[in-house]
Amino acid sequence: MLAPSHRAQLLACEALVMGASSGAIEALNQLLPAVPAEARIPVVVVVHLPANRPSLLVEVFAPRCSARVREPEDKEAMTAGIWFAPSNYHLLVESDRSFAFSTALPVNFSRPSIDVLFESAADAFADSLCCVVLTGANEDGAQGASSIRRRGGLVIVQEPNGAEAKQMPNAAIALANPQIVAPLPEIAELIRLATRAEP
Binding site for other proteins (CB under 8 A): 51-52, 54, 72-75, 86, 88-89, 92-95, 100-105, 116, 119-120, 123-124
Residue 76 backbone zone (phi > 0: left; psi -120 to 50: alpha; other: beta): beta
Q: Which is nearer to other proteins, 72 or 136 (CB)?
A: 72
Q: Which is nearer to other proteins, 36 or 86 (CB)?
A: 86
Q: Cα(199)–Cα(196) distance, rounded to whole angstroms? A: 8
User: Furthest-apart CA pair in the chain: how many Å?
Assistant: 44
* Shortest distance (Å) from residue 184 CB to other proteins: 30
21 is catalytic: yes
128 is catalytic: no
Residue 19 backbone zone (phi > 0: left; psi -120 to 50: alpha; other: beta): beta
* Shortest distance (Å) from residue 65 CB to other proteins: 22
Q: Which is nearer to other proteins, 33 or 86 (CB)?
A: 86
* Shortest distance (Å) from residue 93 CB to other proteins: 7
Parallel, antiparallel, or unpaired for β 99-102 and 90-93? antiparallel
* Shortest distance (Å) from residue 140 CB to other proteins: 15
* Shortest distance (Å) from residue 92 CB to other proteins: 4
Annotated active-site residue in 110, 140, 146, 147: 140
Annotated active-site residue in 48, 90, 113, 120: 48
DSSP E strand stretches across the chain: 15-20, 42-47, 69-70, 81-84, 90-93, 99-102, 129-133, 154-158, 180-182
Q: Which is nearer to other proteins, 123 or 159 (CB)?
A: 123
Listed in sequence order, the residues at least 6 apart from 191 whose beta carbon sits closer than 8 Å to its beta carbon are 16, 31, 32, 34, 35, 43, 132
115 is catalytic: no
Please confirm whether the linkage preceding 63 is cis (ω < 30° from 0): no
Q: Which is nearer to other proteins, 29 or 102 (CB)?
A: 102
User: Which residue numbers are catalytic?
Assistant: 21, 48, 140
